[in-house]
Structure 1
Amino acid sequence: MQLPSLDLPDDPKLAGNIAHFAAALRRAGVPAGPDRLILAIRAVTAAGFTDKDDFFHTLEAVFVQRPEHRATFAQLFRLYWRDPRYLEHMMGMLSPMVSGVQDDHAAKPAEKRAAQALLNQLDLPETDVEDGQELDIDASATASGQERLKTLDFEQMSGAEMAEALKMLATLQLPVPPLPSRRRSPATQGKVDRRATLRAALRRGDLATLRHSAPRTRWPNLVALCDISGSMSSYSRALLHFLHAVSNRQGQGWAEVHGFTFGTRLTNITRHLRTRDVDAALAAAGAEAQDWEGGTRIGEALHAFNRDWSRRVLGQGAIVLLVTDGLDRGEADQLAFEARRLHLTARRVIWLNPLLRWDGFAPKAAGIRALLPHVDSLRPGHSIASLEGLADMLSRPDDPGALARLRG
């Protein structure tokens, strides 16, 4: 099918449509800034606007810079430029019962992000409510929606769902029981403190009063090592929001919260997590960690952590959260050696692996097999419900999670 030839400089409407399309891409998570928009208009001017396929590939070459953005771009292009009933399709993806369109299969993540992005671009009329008219709010539907959102995979969420999920993560609690210390403090009952008793007797001249002492308690450190490679990006972003809330919430019990990201190199983002504003904190962390959505070198990252940071942050019985799918591109022997060093230094190593969301998950990858012997618990980390389970597990030190099944 041939499209009518248009001279872009004399057709500002088409340039405006490309600008709206770029805005929808940004809402769907595809980088499409002003520089890319200008380049896209120039590219279409040079390539012409006569064939659909040529137009598609021209815009794709400009806007798609990462492989994971290709599906989102293709879906947005189909809805925005090709399908005359794209609004009906979008409504069907987001809420089939509202639009009357029932798909035969669930919408893919790219489709949901594309639909949400385009709906946000539309100027839909607001519903008029007459004076004195009361709105009926179905609270049960809201509650059921929140329950569904808790079990939804972070990777499957649309933009609006992810925003709501981040709000819920900010309210999650991650309490930890205190640890007994070797130091003791005065108490009204408990073990007799002979030294304090003798000092009191020397001052008073008699042994009329016995002094007692009890062990002090202390709070452990929480250390999170987050894989930010391409396959883990959505999960790590959600967990970093959760860690930011834990780091800035009083009364959690943690002595200190330390955060590290790794892909091809290790980056300490602890000071950014302590910033009160979550958006500013994660923006600064993302600017410092230059390896977002890149490759994975888990063994090299653990080596850098063990060499440079373990003695500084793993004191006081620290608990380590290792957030990764275990798909390492490095040497399995190095990964196993560094994981063993980490396990010997930390009080507990808890591995959060989003791949556990699959019922048929098996440790076939070499990196996963190298990590399994050197963790104390293995749990999923793909949803809000899985992070709630992490909070419950911290009160049960002997809970191995999925380790019993995988090791057996």
Structure 2
Amino acid sequence: MPAPVTVDEDPIAALVGFTVVLRHAGLNITTDRVTAFLSAVDQLDVTSRVQTYWAGRLTLCSDPDDLPRYDRAFADWFTPPREGSGGTELIDQRKPPPPKLAALTSPNGQGESDDSEGDEEEQFLARASGNEVLRHRDLAELSPAEREHLRRLLALLKPDPPQRPSRRLHPARRGFSDAHRTLRAALRNGGEIRELRKRDHSVRPRKVVLLIDVSGSMEPYADALLRFAHVVVRRAPASTEVFTIGTRLTRVTRELRMRDPERALAATGRAIPDWSGGTRLGEVLRAFIDRWGQRGAARRAVVVVFSDGWERGDTELLGSQCARLARLAHKVVWVNPHAGKDGYAPIQGGIVAALPHLNQLLAGHSLATLEKLLEVMASSDGGRVTRR
């Protein structure tokens, strides 16, 4: 590996030598990237440590795993010379800005050498802290890098599908006495009853229906909510139905059954004709109940409505349809992203009309609240409306 070259000797040689060091460190340094790096530095101040750092990071790094190796190579190569050694040091000694959340939470690369245990512990704490902060951030206020990281966290969710008792009976430790199995066991033991066999009702997956508002007011949350729906559908594809609501009703269950989330979201976007449009919750809810709900989709199901409650149509119609839905479903949960914000009050016309017929009103503005929603969906209790 070549020795560092000071700026006064030959700036170009120093910069090219730095790229050679990066190539030895395992980075994929091509001629095009070296040319881009030199062109970027030519437009900046070569004596500025911060500008040189970011010029190289943006042109020479192609993978998150390259960042730790790049930082170490930069620190070693551009270390200011000691007093009396000659040469001109880089005058800007400020540390480069810390990486974004997505970089903090990225895993370590394979080519990275092992540092001390303190460095590993510091990286682990940064990763845990970043995930925890992101869990409570409002979905509408995330940066592009944070949205990308949120997509990976959503893919890691493992929801437990709600269960319901079946009419079929199966052998169990507790439950009803099973006379037939008890007598058959006694015959095998010479007529002696040694154990009282029992049976109980088996459980089956309870149907789940997700109604996601894709109107203009819900556009900042629509992408994350559809990805959340994709996770739920992939967990229980046979018992989950997903519809989008706005000015019309659109069934997107088939599109969300695709394994790849990106392909599923792309197909869902092509299937939705009223994306970022208006809201007619009463009419759309009536269409759902007439075509799907009363024919079996909503009967004894957990129905979740994702909407902020802004209704352009008749609020009395929405209230009557919510009453119909409550009579059909096992549980009706309304998820309003604004319900988790300070000072929120359920004063929107749609929320006021639907509130008496809901089991729960939840906030859905963050990953933490969506995790809470999964717990509510899995629980078997109904009850009166509550706010969380």
TM class by smaller structure: 0.5 to 0.7
Say whether residues 1:383 and 2:366 are aligned partners. Answer: yes
Bigger CA radius of gyration: 2
SS of structure 1 residue aligned to 2:352: helix
SS in structure 2 of the partner of residue 226 of structure 1: strand
Query: For residues 238 and 154 of structure 1, do their structure 2 counterparts lie closer, same or farther at Cα, with a shift above 3 Å needed?
Result: same
Counterpart residue number, 1:307? 290
Instruction: Report the Cα distance in structure 1 between the residues aligned to 2:182 and 2:152, rounded to whole angstroms.
Output: 57
1:140 is paired with a residue whose SS is: helix
Give me the whole-angstrom Cα distance separating, in 1, the residues matched to 2:353 and 2:333: 15
Deviations 1:282-320, CA, capped at 9 Å, x for gaps: 1111111110100001111101100001123224x3111
1:343 matched to 2:329: no
Deviation of the 1:198 alpha carbon: 11
Q: Give the alignment partner of residue 222 of structure 2, picking from 226, 236, 239.
A: 236
Task: Provide the residue aligned with 2:261 in structure 1.
Answer: 278
Instruction: Report how far residue 383 of structure 1 moved.
Output: 0.5
Find the partner of 2:209 among 214, 223, 243.
223
> In structure 2, what is the Cα distance between the partners aligned to 1:262 and 1:189?
44
SS at match of 2:165: strand
d(CA) in 1 for partners of 2:383, 2:337 = 16
Relative to structure 1, the CA distance from residue 133 to residue 191 in structure 2 (aligned partners, 3 Å threshold; closer, same or farther) is closer
**Cα deviations across residues 340-380 of structure 1 (Å, max 9, x unaligned)?**
11111111111110111222111222211001011101110
Q: Is the 8 A contact 2:359 2:386 kept in 1?
A: no
Aligned residue number for residue 346 of structure 2: 363
Matched, 1:145 2:130: yes
Separation (CA, whole Å) in 2 of partners of 1:207 and 1:336 = 63
CA distance in 1, matches of 2:201, 2:150: 41
**More deviation, 285-294/237-246:** 237-246
Deviation at 1:175, TM superposition (A): 1.4
Alpha-carbon deviations, 1:52-77, whole Å to 9, x = none? xxxxxxxxxxxxxxxxxxxxxxxxxx
Amino acid at match of 1:357: G
Q: Take 2:334 and 2:326, find their aligned partners in 1: how far apart are those partners?
A: 11
User: For each residue in 1:12-42, what CA deviation from the matched residue of structure 2 results, as whole angstroms up to 9, or x when unmatched?
Assistant: xxxxxxxxxxxxxxxxxxxxxxxxxxxxxxx
Letter in structure 1 aligned against 2:132: E
Q: Distance in 2 between matches of 1:160 and 1:144?
A: 16
Assess, with a 3 A threshold, how the Cα gap between structure 1 residues 302 and 208 changes in structure 2: closer, same or farther. Answer: farther
With structure 1 as the length reference, what TM-score do the two structures score?
0.61
Q: Work out whether residues 272 and 284 of structure 1, in 8 Å CA contact, stay in contact via their aligned partners in 2.
A: yes
The residue correspondences of 1:30-69 to structure 2 (distance < 5 A) are: none
Provide the rounded CA distance (Å) in 2 between the counterparts of 1:318 and 1:397: 11
Query: How many percent of aligned residue pairs carry the same amino acid?
Result: 40
Q: Distance in 2 between matches of 1:144 and 1:225?
A: 33
Give the drift of 1:224: 0.2
2:313 maps to what in 1?
330
Residue equivalent to 2:147: 162
Asked if structure 2 preserves the Cα contact closer than 8 Å seen for 1:197 and 1:207, the reply is no
The total of aligned residue pairs comes to 281
Task: Write the letter of the residue equivalent to 1:259.
Answer: V
Q: What corresponds to 2:231 in structure 1?
A: 245
Question: Deviation per CA, 1:84-116, whole angstroms, max 9, x where unpaired?
Answer: xxx9xxxxxxxxxx99xxxxxxxxxxxxxxxxx
Q: Secondary structure at the match of 1:152?
A: coil
Structure 1 residues 333 and 197, CA gap change in structure 2 (3 angstroms): same
Aligned AA for 1:291?
A: D
Q: What is the rounded CA distance, in whole Å, between the counterparts of 2:379 and 2:182 in structure 1?
A: 41
CA RMSD, 1 decimal: 3.3
Cα deviations across residues 171-209 of structure 1 (Å, max 9, x unaligned)? Answer: 112214532222212446632245x469969x99x9866
CA contact (8 A) 1:225 1:261 kept: yes
- Structure 1 unaligned residues grouped into runs of 5+: 1-86, 88-97, 100-118
What's the CA shift for 1:214? 1.3
Q: Does 1:178 align with 2:156?
A: no
Contact kept in structure 1, 2:298 and 2:325, CA below 8 Å:
no
- CA deviation map 1:218-240 (0-9, x unaligned): 11011100000011122222121
CA distance in 2, matches of 1:387, 1:248: 16
Aligned partner of residue 167 in structure 1, secondary structure: helix
Classify the secondary structure of the residue corresponding to 2:347: coil
Question: Is contact 2:330-2:382 (8 Å) kept?
Answer: no
Return the letter of the residue paired with 1:235: Y
Q: Given the alignment of the two structures, is residue 258 of structure 1 paired with residue 241 of structure 2, yes or no?
A: yes
Q: Distance in 1 between matches of 2:113 and 2:199?
A: 67
1:143 CA drift (Å):
1.8
Contact 2:208-2:240 within 8 A present in 1 as well: yes
- Asked if the contact 1:393–1:399 (Cα under 8 Å) also holds between the matched residues in 2, the reply is no
Structure-1 residue corresponding to 2:302: 319
**Counterpart residue identity of residue 298, structure 2:** L
SS at match of 2:210: strand
TM-score, normalised to structure 2's length?
0.64
- Structure 2 portions without partners, runs of 5+: 1-43, 45-49, 62-69, 77-111
2:355 alignment counterpart:
372
Separation (CA, whole Å) in 2 of partners of 1:271 and 1:404: 32
Deviation at 1:139, TM superposition (A): 2.5
Residue 19 (structure 2) aligns with: none
